[in-house]
A and B are shown apart, each in its own frame.
Chain A
Amino acid sequence: MTNACLTFRDLTLGYGSHPAIHHLDGTIRKGSLTAVVGANGSGKSTLMKGIVGVLKPMAGSVIRAPGVRAAYLPQQSELDRSFPARVVDLVSLGLWPKRGMLGRYTKEDRDSVSQALMAVGLGGFEKRPIDTLSGGQLQRTLFARVLLQDADLILLDEPFNAVDAKTVGDLIALIKRWHGEERTIMVVVHDLDLVRQNFPETLLLARQPVAWGETKETLRPENLLRARRFHEAWEENAPWCEPEGHDYGHVHGHDHVHDHHHGSGPRAA
């Protein structure tokens, strides 16, 4: 447990009184690269929001190892593209953890912004207004910002949406570079082939973890089938989940997949 970057303790996250992540236990190892997969509404984005702290847990907790700084690339950015800013202004926001609200940007900072843009293949785009970027270019710009944040924990929520094949390749290369730098990375992905090829560990979610561990094991057909049977809709009158209701024998109103893997983190060697 000493090398845990994130520890989930009986974590329940949701909206209203309905859980989107239900009683999640486990750990994310430091330096691990985990894909988070699951059907629509299975709680992937919710888990990301919970880890960043944008969404407060309904029960349980997410414990970050001390000193771990997170960078988060949301699925639905609240970015205002009509705002009069240049690429360099947007990427420079990534300096916030380093410089805060008042710190001056140094020559070195400006160089690191250029390098980050170079790393995502957008060298020379500094002065471009953000409203002239294509969807893929904007996504790469946001990756550059994540790069600049220099975080220990990197959370990417469906970063490959609307991105062409070449760019996906570039971004995967960047993720692998981060992985090589011993950063902890969690990525929400839909493309299972991409997961099999590039991610050592996978968390398969269906409101609860269906399987969690080494990618090859997790993405076995029977697990995927169980995840697919997951019932997306809330039931307005689902019974309340009582504290003692977390027992295995208890019958919940919504379909529980009783494969909790309690206390199990990724069990990859």
Chain B
Amino acid sequence: MDALYTLFIAPFADFGFMQRALIGSLMLSLGACPVGVFLMLRRMSLSGDAMAHAILPGAAAGFLFYGLEILPMTIGGLIAGIIVALGAGAVSRFTIQREDASMAAFYLISLAIGVLMVSIRGSSVDLMHVLFGTVLALNNEALALIGGIVAVTLVCLVIFWRALVAECLDPLFLRSVSRLGSPVHFIFLGLVVLNLVGGFQALGTLLSVGLMMLPAAAARFWTVRVEPMCVLAVLIGFASCIAGLLLSYHASLPSGPAIILSAGVVYFASILFGTRGVLRARIVHHRHRTA
């Protein structure tokens, strides 16, 4: 019993920074994982990655002017992300170019600007910090920010749920009954940016997309409905955060990658053992019903 306590409870009970890391990452999962499910279902999984790069110059600008302060970096990242999301979304909606191409173009430009800005003043250590984050250094300000982002995300998801599902399932139908198609698309892109920005203080710009996509991708192997898929993704996100933080604590590993790798383990397990996974598909094939 004592061993279990030392293993699982003590790190969080004894250290304030671990508690804050736990609260922050759990809140992040609550918002980012459902958003990730919709990103995946819209076949925009890689767009999340692109967006994560895209917010770099904004964060870098905040960093250049104010140092490692969370608010300027967050607001900067938010602005950069929204410009790229709106720009890429608008190009794909109003020209013949598909969103994948316009997104690639916008984020590459944005990323180049970001790297340029960081390299003008900072050292590569600073860049590493922006790119990979530090979940163990979350202060109360950061926690409040993440809490706000999660609240906004959940409220938006609840309000726009039906429109979001319709826009994914049958966009042309939605356009024929309502004018909400384009607004919903942009609101959704806004949520993606918001959650990535929320995540980058904790996990960094590159890994925050991991917490968004990996639980979603894993949940896809277990269910054929959207609602359970979102719930499951959140639960997988929770489990990954807890496991990652403990791993990081006991094995002295960097916390961000530990969380994402935990989610990665769940993903591979899901591929193999999920109800729609590889093994199940192989086994069930031997037997079939009469109708």
Interface, chain A (partner B; CB < 8 A): 52-54, 70-72, 74, 77-80, 83-86, 89-90, 93, 96-97, 100-102, 129, 145, 149
Closest to B171 in A: A78
Give 24 A-B contacts (CB < 8 Å), ordered by A residue. A53-B176, A54-B175, A54-B176, A70-B176, A72-B173, A72-B176, A74-B176, A77-B172, A83-B41, A84-B220, A84-B223, A84-B226, A85-B225, A86-B224, A86-B225, A89-B165, A93-B169, A96-B174, A96-B177, A96-B178, A101-B160, A102-B162, A145-B173, A149-B177
Mark contacts of B195-223 with chain A using CB atoms, 8 A cut-off: 1 yes-contact digit, 0 otherwise.
00000000000000000000000001001
In the complex, whether B170 has a CB less than 8 A from a CB of chain A is yes
A89 to B173 Cα, complex, angstroms = 13
Give chain B interface residues in 55-76, CB to chain A under 8 Å: none
Q: B224 to chain A: which residues have CB within 8 Å?
A: 84, 86, 129
Q: A54 to chain B: which residues have CB within 8 Å?
A: 172, 175-176
Interface centre among B174, B176, B220 (most CB of A within 10 A): B176
Interface centre among B162, B163, B174, B226 (most CB of A within 10 A): B162
16 more CB-based (< 8 A) A-B contacts, given A78-B171, A100-B178 = A52-B176, A72-B176, A74-B176, A77-B172, A79-B169, A80-B41, A83-B41, A83-B169, A84-B224, A84-B226, A85-B165, A90-B169, A90-B170, A96-B174, A96-B178, A101-B178
A74 to B159 Cα, complex, angstroms = 28
Closest to B37 in A: A84
A6 to B219 Cα, complex, angstroms = 47
From A53, A77, A100, B170 is in contact (CB under 8 Å) with A77
A93 to B166 Cα, complex, angstroms = 7
In the complex, whether B168 has a CB less than 8 A from a CB of chain A is yes
A129 to B169 Cα, complex, angstroms = 13
Which secondary structure dominates chain B's binding surface? helix
A80 to B172 Cα, complex, angstroms = 11
Min CB distance A162 to B, Å, is 18
Q: B165 to chain A: which residues have CB within 8 Å?
A: 85, 89
In the complex, whether B229 has a CB less than 8 A from a CB of chain A is yes
A77 to B177 Cα, complex, angstroms = 14
Closest 3 pairs (CB-CB, A-B): A78-B172, A72-B176, A79-B170
Min CB distance B193 to A, Å, is 22
On whether the beta carbons of B225 and A93 are closer than 8 Å, the reply is no
Task: Count residues of B near A (Cβ-Cβ below 8 Å).
Answer: 25
On whether the beta carbons of B170 and A78 are closer than 8 Å, the reply is yes
Closest to B175 in A: A54
Closest to B180 in A: A101
Q: A145 to chain B: which residues have CB within 8 Å?
A: 173
A100 to B163 Cα, complex, angstroms = 9
A102 to B177 Cα, complex, angstroms = 14
Q: B170 to chain A: which residues have CB within 8 Å?
A: 77-80, 90, 93
Min CB distance A172 to B, Å, is 23
Q: A89 to chain B: which residues have CB within 8 Å?
A: 165, 169, 225
Q: A78 to chain B: which residues have CB within 8 Å?
A: 170-173
A234 to B162 Cα, complex, angstroms = 41
Min CB distance A194 to B, Å, is 25
Q: A80 to chain B: which residues have CB within 8 Å?
A: 41, 168-170
Min CB distance A258 to B, Å, is 34
Q: B169 to chain A: which residues have CB within 8 Å?
A: 79-80, 83, 85, 89-90, 93
Min CB distance A5 to B, Å, is 17
Closest to B163 in A: A101
Q: A84 to chain B: which residues have CB within 8 Å?
A: 41, 220, 223-226, 229
Min CB distance A164 to B, Å, is 19
A102 to B169 Cα, complex, angstroms = 17
Interface centre among A85, A89, A101 (most CB of B within 10 A): A101
Interface centre among A72, A84, A129, A149 (most CB of B within 10 A): A84
